[in-house]
Chains A and B, each alone.
Chain A
Amino acid sequence: QVELQESGPGLVKPSETLSLTCTVSGDSISSSDYYWGWIRQPPGKGLEWIGNIYFTGHTNYKPSLESRVTISVDTSRTQFSLRMFSLTAADTAVYYCARFGREAVGGYYFYYYMDVWGKGTTVTVSS
């Protein structure tokens, strides 16, 4: 049974950099069947996709966050990571990592739904 677990600091100062790691167990992060990514949820609000990554290192990012975000993968440690720069209070949220499942359409694979989620980690941006 695949499980995802986020880890990282709960408190970050404004203008600093957030670093989070997601550890995958029970599945191979090098599988061609999935992308792996990050979603966040500000307090009392909805869900926002941040970005995702394939085991090869190919990434997709939300355009409005792309300049401040880097996602990387370490297949040897079955982990992938999020770095977000120049934090402000608006980045305060629960951060989830998730596995992105795929479906074949017209001979191509599309990784479009999040079928396994971590429990989430709360990040507060405050001085």
Chain B
Amino acid sequence: EIVLTQSPGTLSLSPGEGATLSCRASQSVSSNFLAWYQQRPGQAPRLLIYGASSRATGIPDRFSGSGSGTDFTLTISRLEPEDFAVYYCQQYDSSPPTYTFGQGTKLEIK
């Protein structure tokens, strides 16, 4: 099973600053089957990025994803107050089909 490790565990920043969140896989993620989600308190997760770098419908362009193989990054430019939340990465392995999540990065207001 591929294990995803997210860093940092908590990131303290101010609105207007940029954020860089990391997701490292224990083995190469095939075909960049890597997604990012945002979860605000008391809410369900929301898809931000799929295919490592494709923004989901309705996601602002201040969110961007990059990376391949074992190292992936979610970048948020110009943080808005509503961006302070927990972010999860998730990968898919096709043989057999399984889905695993990272442990999450909490983005908090400094």
Q: Check B33–A114 contact: CB distance below 8 A.
A: no
B35, B98, B100: the one within 8 Å of A60 (CB): B98
| A119 and B45 alpha carbons, distance in the complex (Å) | 9
Q: Within the complex, what minimum Cβ distance (angstroms) separates A34 from chain B?
A: 13
Given the contacts A113-B47, A114-B47, A117-B45, A49 and B33 also touching, CB distance less than 8 Å: no
Which residues of chain B are near A115, meaning CB under 8 Å? 47, 50, 56-57
Which residues of chain B are near A48, meaning CB under 8 Å? 101
Q: Closest residue of chain A to B33, judged by CB?
A: A112
Q: Does A63 contact B (CB under 8 A)?
A: yes
| A96 and B88 alpha carbons, distance in the complex (Å) | 15
Q: Does B51 contact A (CB under 8 A)?
A: yes
Q: Within the complex, what minimum Cβ distance (angstroms) separates B59 from chain A?
A: 11
Q: Does A11 contact B (CB under 8 A)?
A: no
Q: Check A119–B44 contact: CB distance below 8 A.
A: yes
A60, A113, A114, A119: the one within 8 Å of B97 (CB): A60
Point out residues on B near A: beta carbons under 8 Å: 1, 31, 33, 35, 37, 43-47, 50-51, 56-57, 88, 90, 92, 94, 96-104
